[in-house]
Amino acid sequence: MKSQENINYNRIADAINYLRLNFRSQPNLDEVAEKVHLSPFHFQRMFTEWAGISPKKFLQYLSVEYAKGLLKEKQATLFDASYETGLSGTGRLHDLFINIEGMTPAEYKNGAQALNINYSFTESIFGTILAASTTKGICYLAFADEADKAFADLNARYPAATYTQKTDVFQQDALLIFQKDWSKLPAIKLHLKGTNFQLKVWETLLKIPFGGLQTYGAMAQKINSPNASRAVGTAIGDNPVAFLIPCHRVIRSTGELGGYHWGLTRKTAIIGWEAAQLHKDDV
C-alpha cells in the first residue's frame, strides 16, 4: 500500500508532466489541480513544497525556455515566439524575460550584445581571481586556476558582450574583502542574471554571517521550500560570484563539506580562514 508521501509525490510528478506537455495552452491553476484531483489551494501548497516554486512560476520557466529556443535556434521574431509559446502578446514575453532572465527577449536573442563588461585577473590569498563588472556592478567573480578557461566560462554567460581588460571601482571594492574588516568595507554592487528562484537562494546565501555555516536543508527552510534541498543545491552551484555570495558556507547535514565549484580544497581553506579571522583576537 502506497504511503501518503508517495501519493503526493506521484501527484506532483503528474502535474509537472502535464505542465511540460501542455504549457503552450498556458493552463491555469484550477485546470492543473483538477488533473491531479486536488483543490487549487492544496495543489498550490503541495506543488510549492515539493518543487520549490509555485505552479505558475514553473509554467513561466517552461514558457521562457521554449521561447529561448525559438529566438536563438530558429531566429523567430518576438511576435512568433510569443504566439508559439501560447502567450497573449510580445508584452507578456517581454515581462517574463525581464523577471526570469534579467534581460529583454531582444537582448537574449542578440546574446547580450549591448552589454559592456570590464574584467581583470587579480591575485588573492586563495589563488587568481577573475572579476568582471558592468556599469551596474559585479556580474562575475571566479577563481581562475586556468585563465583561458575562466574567461571562456565568463564569455559563455555573455557570449556577445563587449569585453575590456580593465580594473574598475566595482572590482576594486569587491577585492577588498580579502584585505580589510568586512564591517568597514564600502557597499559592493552586484549585477546578477538568474531566475527568481536562483536570486532568492543567492540572497539567502548573503545572510549567512562571516565565519558561519548553513546546511542545504536549512537553506531550503529559509526560502520556505523545505522539500527543495536538491533545487537549492543546484542554484548554489550556479552562483556566478565566488566568495562575495558565500556558497562556500553551505555544507551537508552530516557535517561533510559537500561540493564546491572551485574545489573542495579551496572551500576548506576559505572556511578555515574565515573562522581564523573571526577569532584572531581571542587569547
Condensed to tens digits (0 to 9), the pLDDT of residues 60-117 reads: 989 988 998 898 888 888 899 999 999 988 889 888 887 777 678 887 777 655 678 9
Position 71 scores a pLDDT of 87
- Common-topology check for domains 4-109 and 196-278: yes
Domain boundaries, the chain: 4-109, 116-184, 196-278
Architecture of domain 196-278: Orthogonal Bundle (1.10)
Q: What is the pLDDT along the chain (283 residues), one digit of tens a residue?
A: 567 777 888 888 899 999 999 999 999 999 999 999 999 999 999 888 887 788 998 999 899 889 988 988 888 888 999 999 999 888 898 888 877 776 788 877 776 556 789 999 999 889 999 999 998 899 999 999 999 999 999 998 888 788 999 999 999 888 888 765 555 666 788 888 777 788 889 999 999 988 899 999 899 888 888 777 888 888 899 999 999 999 999 998 888 888 888 999 999 999 998 888 876 665 4
CATH ID of 116-184, from 3.30.565.10, 1.10.420.10, 3.30.160.70, 3.90.1330.10: 3.30.160.70
CA dist 247 and 51 (Å) reads: 21
Question: Looking at 12, 36, 139, 247, which residue is catalytic?
Answer: 247
Rg (C-alpha) for the chain, rounded Å, is 21
Assigned fold of 4-109: Arc Repressor Mutant, subunit A (1.10.10)
pTM recorded for the entire structure: 0.62
Position 2 scores a pLDDT of 61
Strand partners, 163: 117
Helices (H), the chain: 4-22, 29-35, 40-51, 55-72, 78-85, 90-101, 105-109, 147-157, 169-175, 196-205, 216-222, 229-237, 264-278
Position 259 scores a pLDDT of 84
Position 160 scores a pLDDT of 75
Residue 247 is among the residues annotated as catalytic for this protein? yes
The conformation of residue 101, written as its DSSP 8-state character, comes to H
In the structure grid, which three cell numbers stand for residue 145, read together?
A: 586556476
**249, 207 in Cβ contact below 8 A?**
no
